[in-house]
Structure 1
Amino acid sequence: MTSPVFNILKLLDEAGIKYLISRYRAETIDIHATLVGERIEISVFEDDHVEISRFFGDENVLNGDILSDIIAGYVGETEQ
């Protein structure tokens, strides 16, 4: 039996989709794939179940000044 992690990586490799593998929680391996206008987060848990989140965007290029606004909005949300 092949691990879900390797099955997912094989699918991404065969499709030519670039990805990063990360570890944010002790019980998961996280795979982040980026497509044009879309980002996919795939979490594979210790018990082999998989959770997938998709995020869509319009690929607009923003100027550097927007970063301060994004961070300020994030900090404001976490302080509430």
Structure 2
Amino acid sequence: MTHPLYGLLADLEAANIHFVLSRRRPDSVLVSMTFVGERVEVDVFDDGRMDVSRFKGSEDVVGDEDLVRRIIAERG
């Protein structure tokens, strides 16, 4: 039996949906997809379980270089 991560990746590729793989936890792989007005994150765990988070919002411009510098300073 193959891991559900591979099935998810095959489905995304068949649908021509761009995705990025990353890791932020030792027990999962993060599959991230970005669409107009929405970002989707799927954590696929080593046991095959999937947790899905959806982030919806406008894509309005909310600032300029000053804003990005403040965001970096707040988190740095």
TM tier, smaller:
0.7 to 0.9
**d(CA) in 1 for partners of 2:73 and 2:57?**
21
Relative to the length of structure 1, the TM-score reads: 0.78
1:59 matched residue in structure 2: 59
Instruction: State the shift of 1:57 in Å.
Output: 2.0
Q: Does 1:45 align with 2:66?
A: no
Deviates more, 1:4-13 or 1:36-45: 4-13
1:2 CA drift (Å): 2.8
SS for the counterpart of 1:65 is: helix
Give aligned-pair identity as a percent.
Answer: 39
Q: Distance in 2 between matches of 1:69 and 1:54?
A: 26
Partner of 1:34: 34
Which sections of structure 1, spanning at least 5 residues, go unmatched?
A: 76-80
Unaligned runs of 5+ in 2: none
| Coordinate RMSD, CA, aligned | 1.7
Matched residue pairs, number?
A: 75
What letter matches 1:45 in structure 2? F
User: What's the CA shift for 1:69?
Assistant: 3.5
CA contact (8 A) 1:17 1:35 kept: no
Q: Kindly tell me: are residues 49 and 39 of structure 1, through their superposed partners in 2, closer, same or farther at Cα, counting changes over 3 Å?
A: same
